[in-house]
Structure 1
Amino acid sequence: MNGEPILTVRDVEVRFSVGGLADRIVGQPASILGVAGVSFDVARGETFALVGESGSGKTTLARAINGLQAVSAGSIRFEGDEVVGMARPAMRSLRRRMAMMFQDPVGSLSPRLTVGALIAEPFRIHGLNDRDLAVETRRLLALVGLPAEFADRYPHQLSGGQARRVGVARAIALDPALVIADEPTAGLDVSVQGEVLNLLNELRERLGLAMVVITHNLHVVHHVADRMAVMYLGRFVETGPTEAVFNAPRHPYTAALLSANPEPDPDKARARIALPAEVPSLLSRPTGCEFHTRCPWRQERCRSEPPRPAGRDDVGVSCHFPLKPGARPPAN
């Protein structure tokens, strides 16, 4: 990574309180770890992807980065400033530089406001009264590929792709340095997904944005991300440059996710690695390697000893027995 990272996350944990006194008496934990000690950096102009199944902790981590979710332990530094414990006035200023795109493209837009009012809203919230909002709205609509007349429409008059473009316009309105995009293609047709991904790539290059993309869609990751992290039960199990991880996954969970990813080229299709569908509960994490209950390659050591993260060629993996290229699950 060249230069000082714009975002530095170190050993971040997010805990959620669960149950009451009666539950604790019968042995239920007082809290669960939603994010369990993750660390990564994002460089200026880089796209970093967080990948994993639903419930893996991706969105919780994104909300923690943006200050929307309390952090139990660890450090999050953005442009040199500590986000964890930041006072509200400073957080308000930070959010001008760190924008967030939420999952639901239409549901995240107020149905009572026109597109023009929605795009101008960030300027009003941050007291930028010296801006010509009509001019700014036209500029931002043009940046995301929408005609100026869309300013008079309401969210219910937009397609999913158009609503997502409006969400992108809102996110970049105040010239942020970092955009956090939570499932940017969720609910969109495949052809529209490609348009949105191309738009995000174009804006990143034109505006010099850094991006954190949260998704379970590996086609999205391959299309936009420079580097990626695979999450399982709130932990990173594999991190590295996207091409390196896609070409030679070293963690069994990563290999299974990639094997389930549809591949239009039959010569590149991977043999499907079937996993038990049930993900362990955060209330009762497995001992040892937390993936061992679903892992086709598990050995006795995996049941009792947690793996330590190890790295090679910029790829980090938490596995006692990292996979070699082309590895196939052992026969039952």
Structure 2
Amino acid sequence: MLTLRQIEVIRAIMLAGTVKGAADLLGVSAPGISRVMKHSETQLGLRLFSRNHGRFVPTTEAHGIFAQINEVFAKVENLQFSIDALKQGGGGVFSFASAPSISQHILPRAVKRLRQKFPALRMNINILKIEETIDYLLLKKGELVAMSFKIDHPGLVSHLLASGRLVAVVPAGHALAARTAIALTELAAEPLIGIDPADPYGEILAAPFRDHGLPFDLAIQARFGQTVAALVAANLGVAVLDEFSMAARETPGVAVRPIVEPTSFKTYGVFNAEVARSIFADELIDLLKLEMREALAVR
């Protein structure tokens, strides 16, 4: 059986027409090419080339072999291409999702870093509410969901990404914007914009008010944090959101301030417990953690 090296040498002679040309093509010495060719002919018991005016011409008997050699070489090249593509992230689609609170600022930054490491990686990104995550992962629509809630389900695994805080969001020209920190009582006294407390994310935002015996009476209710922030920028009220939702370097029209009372907001990477994670999922988790640490440092 011919080795891949013998196939490579025979093909090089076919292409170059001379031993020296084949040696130049492969970047080796001419005597070495001659030895490999002679050994191959002896091994096969067949003369592969005849000399014609100084050039090596395939013999009639060897034409069938040369056709198969080309086919084998093409498959080897395709294999190497596939390996190189995998190293760059090619050859498949990495599907994952994020909660709206993470998708606004943190996720795009992490995806940018992921693209830099795997430039050929195809991605399919979805934005999910917490209640949509279970079906998404159990039905294997994607590998990972970056979530603002720890999901208690036997088929899923949640890994902590970061621990942050809730923040007060007020119109840029509002009197409270002059404060270095804002109390919950001050926010409760203003028209509140927020998310339905029956929603898991909305319940997180409402919890500090409830824990301190304060009303969480929403003057305007929206579905996503981005909408809430935009309504605050329109001077329609104040809000409480998580600091990752407000992780932009600057948000026009609003002032983001710490809340006087202690608050907590945790983010998680959620996976299907029965599915092995790809290198892309592991890398994205690390990048999300990095971006969240940087966002906390800035805040």
| TM-score between both structures, scaled by the size of structure 2 | 0.26
| TM-score between both structures, scaled by the size of structure 1 | 0.24
